[in-house]
Structure 1
Amino acid sequence: MTDHPLDNLDRRILHLLQLDARGASDTDIAAETDVTGTTVHNRIEKLEDEGIIVGYNPEINYEQAGYPMRVLFICSTDLSDRSEMAESALEVRGVVNVREMLSGEENLHVEVVAETTSEVKQSTEQLDGLGLRIVSSNILAEERIQPWNHFHQDIIGEPDTLSETAPDEE
């Protein structure tokens, strides 16, 4: 986290980028926030530089792309090894997502996509080879994702400080 909190403009920009990062230009976001495109551009650069925005990733329909198998492996590892195991799991063929749980026995969730069950088996063997204990596995049917719009309740209602900008941003 940065030394200074996000203001309402930052929160609004983050929300609008979550809605459509690819299609939202600085000008489009500026129109939604009552600031200039330059201000939006500067704010986005600042959010990237501070590590708040860490990337722009497409949402992929793996089944449409020819990978109908999506499996969620619930794994267990020693908490002291969790981060290292998460990094290693990313190297396994087919792994698209690894989530570290804060605590508990089932502390690593690994999502694998594959074309066939034999490819899922290969991924299972590789995860096991890393030393992960696979507690359970589930075939994923559907996933629904939505932008988190609760950065601050003020951005939902009337803008009260959205147009506040630092003098050097214009």
Structure 2
Amino acid sequence: MENDPLDNLDRRILHLLQLDARGASDTDIADETDVTGTTIHNRIKQLEEQGIITGYNPELDYERAGYPMQVLFICSTDLSRRSEMAEEALEVRGVVNVREMLSGEENLHVEVVAESTSEVEESTDQLDALGLRIVSSNILAEEHIQPWNHFHQKFAGEDPDAAEEIGSSEE
């Protein structure tokens, strides 16, 4: 892909960071990719500057942290106000995630965490006061997340016929 902003080394770095961004040092990633730690450091910096890496966020178990109520609100708003409403919804107490849907009636998905039902009701009232119409709500039982390892290429060592050698573009 000529317009692809990522090469195989970038893809491998992104995957390894998804697996363990906190524990993966430049040296660890360098060992996995057969390039220098300096190259890894420079590549990560470039990926951050390009806006491909937008942050490093911990995964939380809200229930263990004392917030046993996790509710997903499926909301509706005018498409022309969707982004504005998403930003406003982030200011509501307990909101930890807002997803904008491209189109359709159920175009904002708002995730709320709370200690009690009364706190969920408070968040509901605040979302309603913003002008969001809550279409439905569901208590989340469990969320399963995995790193995306489908960058449409093979990593070094997986395919002996791979044309691009990961370490060929040292910086």
- Give the shorter-chain TM-score range: over 0.9
Q: Which amino acid aligns with 1:83?
A: S
Deviations 1:85-117 (A, max 9, x none): 000000000000000000000000000000000
Instruction: Give the structure-1-normalised TM-score.
Output: 0.94
Task: Find the residue that maps to 1:62 and give its secondary structure.
Answer: coil
Is the CA contact (8 Å cut-off) linking 1:8 and 1:152 kept in structure 2? no
Query: How does 1:20-169 map onto structure 2 within 5 Å?
Result: 20-155=20-155, 157-158=158-159, 160-166=164-170, 169=171
Structure 1 unpaired stretches of 5+: none
Q: Identity, % of aligned pairs?
A: 79
Task: Find the residue that maps to 1:71 and give its secondary structure.
Answer: strand
CA distance in 2, matches of 1:164, 1:50: 21
Aligned pairs, number: 165
Deviations 1:51-85 (A, max 9, x none): 00000000000000000000000000000000000
1:4, CA displacement in angstroms?
Answer: 5.5
- Partner in structure 2 of residue 8 of structure 1: 8
CA distance in 1, matches of 2:137, 2:155: 39
CA distance in 1, matches of 2:44, 2:122: 41
Q: Which amino acid aligns with 1:7?
A: D
CA distance in 2, matches of 1:68, 1:138: 14
Task: Find the residue that maps to 2:71 and give its secondary structure.
Answer: strand
Is the CA contact (8 Å cut-off) linking 2:90 and 2:96 kept in structure 1? yes
1:161, CA displacement in angstroms?
Answer: 2.1
Task: Find the residue that maps to 1:127 and give its secondary structure.
Answer: helix
1:142, CA displacement in angstroms?
Answer: 0.3
Task: Find the residue that maps to 1:83 and give its secondary structure.
Answer: helix
Instruction: Give the structure-2-normalised TM-score.
Output: 0.93
Structure 1 residue runs of 4 or more that deviate by more than 4 Å after TM superposition? none
CA distance in 1, matches of 2:132, 2:42: 43
